[in-house]
Structure 1
Amino acid sequence: MKQYKKGAKTADSILRSHPEHGETLAMKGLVLSFLSRKAEARDLVRLGVRHDLRSHLCWHVYGVVCRGDGEYDEAVKCYKNALRLDPSNVTVLKDLAALQVHLRDAHGLCATRQSLLELKPSQRTNWLALAVAHHLSSHHEVAASVLASYASTLELRTIEAEPYEHSEVLLYRAEILREGGRAGEALEALEAAEKQGFLRDPVGSARLRARLLRETGAFEASREAFEKLLDLTPDDREVHDALREIVEEEIKERLGGEAGDDPSDADASFSSALETRLTALYRLLQERHPRSLAVRRVPLDFASGQAFE
């Protein structure tokens, strides 16, 4: 149980002997802020800072109080002042990082998380947080590099002890590579992880693999991958939409060399070929997934005439 009133009394006993002790004034102000005495708390913290400008604790407390009052920009300034006095203070760095996330200051977050990693490189959280910071800043190459460096530090026994956590890191790195326009490299990394037996999320890895195959232009392999994904999630509408788009791309590529002078003829040929191909595909899917509602519902989006009825 937090004993704020007792803490305030303890601070008063110290201040009777040392009324200008900055850190005690600041801590009393912090305690009062938790007792909803905001105005008095702010005055005490400011007084504490004035009496001890060289104390990182006073600036840190000032930042905490400002954050509690919703003055986030002022809180960031206070945290940075505290770090100028104590650059290796992990607690202040974590508070600053949390506030930078709140303010969507991705650039500042990268610097803060880099400092935390350098101070505590043995903590997995710091590696992952730095990668996320660079990902938020659209530094995809750096984020992927950070995750690769982290993975290289792991021993096999560590991976075996936490297989699901390691699997998520590998999938996240592949996703970052994909977003950074390096779908081919992402696919290679994903397949390497599959061969090593490191992936523990069959749906997530299958979904990512299908997307990567599509983005690398392997439409047939991608279509087959999405069909296999439907074996795991037959009612996932996103997968059905992706499957239809791939079939459309295959037909457009096939009909590209057969296009005539009349656009209406080309459109009619495309629509007819698409309906025929999708009808055959979903007939097979209905046999494989007789209990799936989506497999029966989706054909209504492209069927026409008697097939629709």
Structure 2
Amino acid sequence: MKVQIGKMILYGIISAVSYLIVPLIMFQLLDTYNIMTFSQAFKLSIIIIGIIGIVFSMLRHLFPKDTSANRLVAFGATVYSGIYLFYMFGGFTVGVSYGTYAIDIPVMGIQVLLGLQLIAWTLLASSGIRATQYLVEAIEISKQKEYNVSVRRKFKLSKVFKVVGSILGLVIAGYFISLVYSGLNLSFDIHDSYDMDYDDNGTLLDPSDDSINLTMTFDVSNQGIYAIYGVSIDVRFYTHDSDNTTALPNDIKVGESLNNYYSTFHSFSLTPDNNVTVVMDPLHIVGLITTACTLEFRISFSTLYAGILVDLNISIQVPWTALI
């Protein structure tokens, strides 16, 4: 059987670029600009998996395309690439949901957790279809016999898998393009100010029975093609830089509002002035009334967007002035 040494080396170089060089450069850039951090163990696993993938690719192109050996190696390489992509987007870490990645931007007080299960499983399914095509082709070549399916007319079975795989590949590419476009046209803006409802209960000189409610306002601009579904928002207030740590200690939670639910933010829409009201903890009312500090708003925003689970955590700080 004729072997193709030159072609094997060429595709080995191409595979090295796609399996190793591009991912490692991407990881380094994301890490350098503090967008996303990858553990050394994850990088090492990508290197090991990538090297094995390069070997598969070289073996695949060692044999001519019209041989069963080529098709069998192509089958193994495609299965392996599917597992590689599933690991890249999903991961097999015990105790962690498939496809959970974190984008952390400390300077802006933003952290985003992404559940990429849909992408991971879709890529794995696409690889499975293409692998089946190569397996059928290997059987056809070795037995010198075509397998057909009939829907009004006969179709070569391997061609059916090839067409289905190509269509699924185009769908995935379109999904990625639409996802990038929609993500770039999505914003969540928290107003820097807040509304306060203060009630002294008719006892101006006795703050112990007073109540304070703070209302936070935010705007959602969704100019992408996907709607935002099942939004759940939690808001917690914490103290910093207290003028009197005896009356109002630092780093304590003074109020919260949990499980604020919004069913849908539609695509190509702007939804301004959404409100979340936080009832301040009665245990810290006196301290808040008598002490100036900085209030930190910690907002957790969980939703499903374009098939991706998103958990957005934002932190902003606003000044708090003593009321008396």
Larger helix proportion of the pair: 1
Relative to its length, the structure with more strand (as a share) is: 2
Q: Which has the higher contact order (CA 8 A, sep 6+)?
A: 2
TM-score over 0.5 (shorter chain): no
Shorter-normalised TM range: under 0.3
- Superposition TM-score, scaled by structure 1 size: 0.23
Q: Which has the larger radius of gyration?
A: 1
TM-score by length of 2: 0.22
